[in-house]
Amino acid sequence: MKFSTPLIHGYLIKRYKRFLSDIRLDDGSIVIAHCTNSGSMKTCIEEGAEVYLSPATDPKRKTRFTWEMIKINGAWVGVHTSHPNLIAYNAIVNGEIPQLKGYESLQREVKTGNSRIDIMAQKPNETCFIEVKNVSMRDGKYARFPDAVTTRGKKHLEELIQLKKEGIRAVMLYIIQRSDVEIFATANNIDPDYTSTLKKAFELGVEIIPIRVKVNPYEISIDKELPFDLNA
């Protein structure tokens, strides 16, 4: 995923009210940037750290910028939570995820049961539902999800479980927007219900695919699949 317009460099002053952040640009001016991440952003907040913003395209929007990434310990971390869906969609279309190759049609935001699942992939005699989650929290070598209690995330897992019980392929795809981690795991100390539901889903045949991406001010690209440990 290439950024359509050049990003703007600055430094984080603070994040507040969940969806707002104060940024000092290189010219010394201070601007308010929209933060799309509704989670705690644990391990992604460091006041004074380098950041990049994208300019808003809607002139009527209250905030002129969107916060895209932050540099933590020398590595860029993507904080825009809407990007993983597009990253995943493009990666599947381009055959960059081996387990998800060969599908002839993709649809986004497909209603099933009481939820919408991010991607439905189809080929003759097979349908696959793929739910995508953004991962940005680091704990040593582990990338952990979620960084806050997510009842919505648990609901999506329950929908995948139901689909699998009906004989439909179901995949939980985690897009990890940082390069300084080696293993995917859940954050059991933050949301034990999510951990137990993911374990149940995996035992029942829901597939887990954690994909690490490379983040830089020009593009976000697929790096590699990471192993996962649901007991870590």
Residue 155, C-beta contacts closer than 8 angstroms, at least 6 positions apart: 114, 115
Section 58-87 average pLDDT: 94
User: pLDDT for 27-38, tens place per residue?
Assistant: 999 999 999 998
Tell me, what's the pLDDT at 113? 84
Share of the chain above pLDDT 90, in %: 94
CB atoms under 10 Å from CB of 109, counted, come to: 10
Structure confidence by residue, pLDDT tens digits, 136-172: 999 999 999 999 999 999 999 999 999 999 999 999 9
**Per-residue pLDDT for 229 more than 90?**
yes
| Residue 61 pLDDT class (50, 70, 90 cuts) | confident
Query: In the predicted model, is pLDDT for residue 57 greater than 90?
Result: no
Position 36 scores a pLDDT of 95
CATH architecture of the domain 8-77 equals Beta Barrel (2.40)
Domain 83-225 in this protein, CATH class: alpha beta
pLDDT value of residue 215: 98
Q: Indicate the pLDDT class of residue 59, thresholds 50, 70 and 90.
A: confident
Question: For residue range 184-206, what is the model confidence (pLDDT) as tens digits?
Answer: 999 999 999 999 999 999 999 99
The pTM (predicted TM-score) of the whole model is: 0.95
Question: What is the predicted pLDDT for the residue at 116?
Answer: 93
- Over residues 81-126, the pLDDT tens digits come to 999 999 999 999 999 999 999 999 999 999 998 889 999 999 999 9
One-letter amino acid for residue 221 of the chain: S
* Spans of all domains in the chain: 8-77, 83-225
